[in-house]
Amino acid sequence: DAKTTQPTSMDCAEGRAANLPCNHSTISGNEYVYWYRQIHSQGPQYIIHGLKNNETNEMASLIITEDRKSSTLILPHATLRDTAVYYCIVRDAGGTSYGKLTFGQGTILTVHP
Amino acid sequence: DSGVTQTPKHLITATGQRVTLRCSPRSGDLSVYWYQQSLDQGLQFLIQYYNGEERAKGNILERFSAQQFPDLHSELNLSSLELGDSALYFCASSVDLDRGWNIQYFGAGTRLSVL
């Protein structure tokens, strides 16, 4: 699976949009981008995923650049409950790595009042 | 609530002992995954089962083993426990249909403390 690079930490004011970047410059054509978050030792929570088009769901939006080498997770109106570690994961749809998710260090997002 | 149930929530045991962690996947999910999260290693994939068969393996120690039963629940067995095995153990499940993407839903985890 392609390697991802994320900032170690970010801050955001409550009510403002949180934009979390992820670099995945070695991504290949059949690899999907997934975002998960983990709130204080709870189980990781799925947020969103995409291949090449921008995606939106009730939790967030995912913007993937045209060359697919980077993406941004957008939380449109961050709340204190969005404080968590956010993981950007690139995973091949098939092959021997089909099963696993490879978690990096993620971005610690802190939402301030 | 992800729909994935893990028991027990906490487990305290001594070095050299053996423990069993249990996971019930979401209804309809055929795949179960086990992950370990320790302070120094982060979240690490251990093993995946699909419909009772082992499908993928990560850096799982030989002292650890897992199985998935006909009712699709899974157990992770940890034996000859060492202090370094203290960690959070997460189970995840997915439908695992033949498609390009696959979402894993995680349980709340079992916190294992080896004293």
Chain A residues with beta carbon closer than 8 angstroms to that of B35: 101
The pLDDT value recorded for residue A1 is 63
CB A99 to CB B100 under 8 A? no
Structure confidence by residue, pLDDT tens digits, A47-82:
999 999 899 999 999 999 999 999 999 999 999 999
- pLDDT above 70 for A97: no
The pLDDT value recorded for residue A93 is 62
Distance CA B94, CA B32 (A): 7
CB B104 to CB A30 under 8 A? no
Q: How confident is the model at residue A94 (pLDDT cuts 50, 70, 90)?
A: low
The pLDDT value recorded for residue A101 is 87
Distance CA A48, CA B83 (A): 36
> B56 at the A interface (CB within 8 A)?
yes
* Residue B75 near residue B47, CB atoms below 8 Å: no
> A39 at the B interface (CB within 8 A)?
no
The pLDDT value recorded for residue A100 is 80
Q: Which residues are CB-contacts of A59 (< 8 A; sequence separation ≥ 6)?
A: A47, A48, A75
The pLDDT value recorded for residue B64 is 97
Of residues B54 and A93, more confidently modeled: B54
Max Cα–Cα distance, chain A, nearest Å: 45
- pLDDT above 80 for B55: yes
- The neighbour count for residue B58, using CB atoms within 10 Å, is 17
Lowest mean pLDDT among A37-46, A53-62, B35-44: B35-44
Nearest C-alpha in A relative to B104: A46
Token pair for B37: 């999260």
Structure confidence by residue, pLDDT tens digits, B21-35:
999 999 999 999 999
Nearest Cβ partner of B48 from A42, A93, A100? A100
> A69 at the B interface (CB within 8 A)?
no
Of residues A10 and B102, more confidently modeled: A10
CB A98 to CB B45 under 8 A? no
Q: Are strands A70-75 and A18-23 parallel, antiparallel or unpaired?
A: antiparallel
Region B41-47: mean pLDDT is 90
- The neighbour count for residue A20, using CB atoms within 10 Å, is 23
Cα Rg of chain A, angstroms: 13
Instruction: Measure the CA angle with vertex B1, ends A109 and B3; round to 5°.
Output: 125
- pLDDT above 70 for B62: yes
Q: How confident is the model at residue B100 (pLDDT cuts 50, 70, 90)?
A: low
- pLDDT above 90 for B1: no
* Residue A95 near residue A32, CB atoms below 8 Å: no
